[in-house]
């Protein structure tokens, strides 16, 4: 019997995502001027206020207030009627020096012996149901909101949009786990107060169905386009008008959208957030490394679906264990445990090795902090950073290195696949 599976996403203007983007912008600025910086930065946003807290070990000094304001303005909170805007909100910083007890557990005389920044387990996942190897419901949820933000910035076809929004997609799967059709799409978007509620809601629904949905449908392969049937159930702003939103409507915190950031509820999650952490924190770096492994395994044809777990002890370089689950989809005559032993020989999972392999000591993180850390496009971009004394630094950096399919040949060779 067919079953349903649902994933959600939130826009860059969602309060929690504002917090993630501010935290990661601060990480990027520290790494731009001091690649060896150790940073853990948490952000809270509420009506007219930003609060920064965390621990830092770095040789550089930053104007964190300006960084926060620039992020808020970029997202689109630029009007006083939002009750939260980049030019007028208060910014309080309570960032202090990192504990020497943690530093001594991480830093070593030889960089390759660098210990894990914390204990815990991290998961990576990949599935062949989409071209970017992430679950379809999450991929569509992200696409809806990215396109909605693009429409908002164009300010042409729809002129009443505000930055806060959420989307949710439910997919009908066959018994053999193949997407058959889209069951339900939910979109809640913040908007200007531009008329009587009933008329506003009718206009918003019409625009979502006639403008947003066709633009998203056009982005996906034909195999996914056919899932957009006339039978889709749509819930557009189902609670009614959504004028009050963003940090004025809800307090936002760094690290509170970890399922949106990863696989939409498929696979598994170790519980650690990503944003606001430098790559010595394995919550972040090892989650990227396990995604890299899982994606390359599926692309290599080892299995149609793969979950990879790795676990660490704080201050210890080598992981405690690596676990593989292929959900019975393996194409080779090995158990999941035997597959894991082969993978251990291909990928060095010590924290320093991960940092080097995936180029994680570069300012590449603000781009990860909205619309998911996984399934994104690997590309080189040019970024410019400014220090408090107005000195500038321009760097070419490679984004989403963990999405590269650069280990497919090695995996195929190791498993005898052709």
pLDDT of residue 105: 58
The architecture in CATH of the region 16-106 reads 2-Layer Sandwich (3.30)
- Is 166 known to sit in a ligand binding site? yes
- Is 219 known to sit in a ligand binding site? no
- Is 367 known to sit in a ligand binding site? no
Q: Tokens standing for 112?
A: 């390759």
- Is 269 known to sit in a ligand binding site? no
**Class assignment of domain 120-128+268-415?**
alpha beta
Give Cα separations from 111 to 345, 356, 416 (angstroms).
20, 11, 34
pLDDT of residue 106: 66
- Is 241 known to sit in a ligand binding site? yes
pLDDT of residue 100: 65
pTM for this one?
0.96
The single-letter DSSP state of residue 209 is: I
pLDDT of residue 104: 57
- Is 16 known to sit in a ligand binding site? yes
Q: How many CA atoms lie within 13 A of 404 on its CB side?
A: 15
The architecture in CATH of the region 3-11+135-248 reads 2-Layer Sandwich (3.30)
- Is 248 known to sit in a ligand binding site? no
- Is 165 known to sit in a ligand binding site? yes
- Is 256 known to sit in a ligand binding site? yes
pLDDT of residue 98: 75
pLDDT of residue 111: 74
- Is 98 known to sit in a ligand binding site? yes
Q: Nearest to residue 351, comparing CAs of 307, 318, 374, 324?
A: 318
Every domain of the chain and the residues it spans: 3-11+135-248, 16-106, 120-128+268-415
Distance of CA 31 to the CA centre of its chain: 19
In tens digits, what is the pLDDT along the chain, a chain of 418 residues? 799 999 999 999 999 999 999 999 999 999 999 999 999 999 999 999 999 999 999 999 999 999 999 999 999 999 999 999 999 999 999 999 876 665 555 665 667 778 887 899 999 999 999 999 999 999 999 999 999 999 999 999 999 999 999 999 999 999 999 999 999 999 999 999 999 999 999 999 999 999 999 999 999 999 999 999 999 999 999 999 999 999 999 999 999 999 999 999 999 999 999 999 999 999 999 999 999 999 999 999 999 999 999 999 998 999 999 999 999 999 999 999 999 999 999 999 999 999 999 999 999 999 999 999 999 999 999 999 998 888 899 999 999 999 999 999 999 999 999 8
- Is 146 known to sit in a ligand binding site? no
DSSP, residue by residue, 35-82: TT-EEEEEEEEETTEEEEEEEEE-S----HHHHHHHHHHHHT---GGG
- Is 128 known to sit in a ligand binding site? no
Q: Nearest to residue 43, comparing CAs of 62, 68, 75?
A: 68
List, in sequence order, the alpha helices (H) in 186-322. Answer: 197-207, 213-217, 222-225, 246-249, 258-261, 282-300
Q: Indicate if 16-106 has the same CATH topology as 3-11+135-248.
A: yes
Round to whole Å and give the CA distance between 34 and 3: 50
Q: How many CA atoms lie within 13 A of 157 on its CB side?
A: 16
């Amino acid at each position: 019997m067919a079953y349903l599976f649902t994933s959600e996403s939130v826009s860059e203007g969602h309060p929690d995502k504002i917090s993630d983007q501010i935290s990661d912008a601060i990480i990027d600025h520290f790494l731009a001027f001091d690649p060896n910086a150790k940073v853990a930065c948490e952000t809270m946003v509420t009506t007219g206020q930003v609060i920064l807290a965390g621990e830092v070990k770095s040789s550089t000094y930053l104007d964190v207030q300006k960084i926060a304001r620039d992020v808020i303005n970029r997202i689109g909170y630029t009007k006083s009627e939002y009750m939260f805007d980049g030019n007028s909100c208060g910014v309080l910083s309570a960032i202090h020096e990192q504990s020497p007890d943690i530093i001594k557990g991480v830093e070593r005389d030889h960089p390759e012996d660098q210990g894990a920044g914390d204990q815990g387990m991290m998961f990576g996942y990949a599935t062949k149901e989409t071209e970017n190897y992430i679950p379809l419901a999450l991929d569509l949820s992200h696409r809806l909101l990215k396109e909605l933000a693009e429409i908002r910035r164009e300010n042409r076809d729809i002129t009443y949009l505000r930055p806060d929004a959420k989307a949710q997609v439910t997919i009908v799967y066959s018994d053999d786990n193949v997407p058959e059709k889209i069951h339900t799409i939910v979109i809640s978007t913040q908007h200007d107060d531009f008329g009587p509620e009933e008329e506003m809601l009718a206009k918003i629904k019409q625009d979502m169905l006639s403008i947003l949905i066709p633009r998203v449908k056009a982005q996906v392969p034909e195999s996914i386009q056919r899932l957009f049937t006339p039978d889709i159930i749509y819930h557009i702003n189902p609670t009614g008008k959504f004028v009050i939103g963003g940090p004025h409507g809800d307090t936002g915190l760094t690290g509170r959208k970890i399922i949106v950031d990863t696989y939409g509820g498929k696979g598994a999650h170790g519980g650690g957030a990503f944003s606001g952490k430098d790559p010595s924190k394995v919550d972040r770096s090892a989650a990227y490394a396990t995604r890299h492994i899982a994606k390359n395994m599926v692309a290599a044809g080892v299995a149609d679906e793969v979950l990879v777990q790795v676990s660490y002890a704080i201050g210890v370089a080598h992981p405690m264990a690596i676990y593989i689950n292929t959900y019975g989809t393996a194409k080779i005559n090995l158990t999941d445990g035997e597959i894991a032993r082969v993978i251990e020989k291909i990928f060095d999972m010590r924290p320093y090795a991960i940092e080097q392999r995936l180029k994680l000591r570069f300012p590449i993180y603000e781009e990860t902090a909205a619309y998911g850390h996984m399934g994104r496009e690997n590309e080189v971009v040019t970024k410019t950073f400014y220090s408090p004394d107005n000195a500038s630094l321009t760097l070419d950096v490679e984004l989403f290195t963990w999405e590269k399919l650069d280990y497919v040949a090695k995996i195929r060779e190791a498993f005898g696949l052709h």
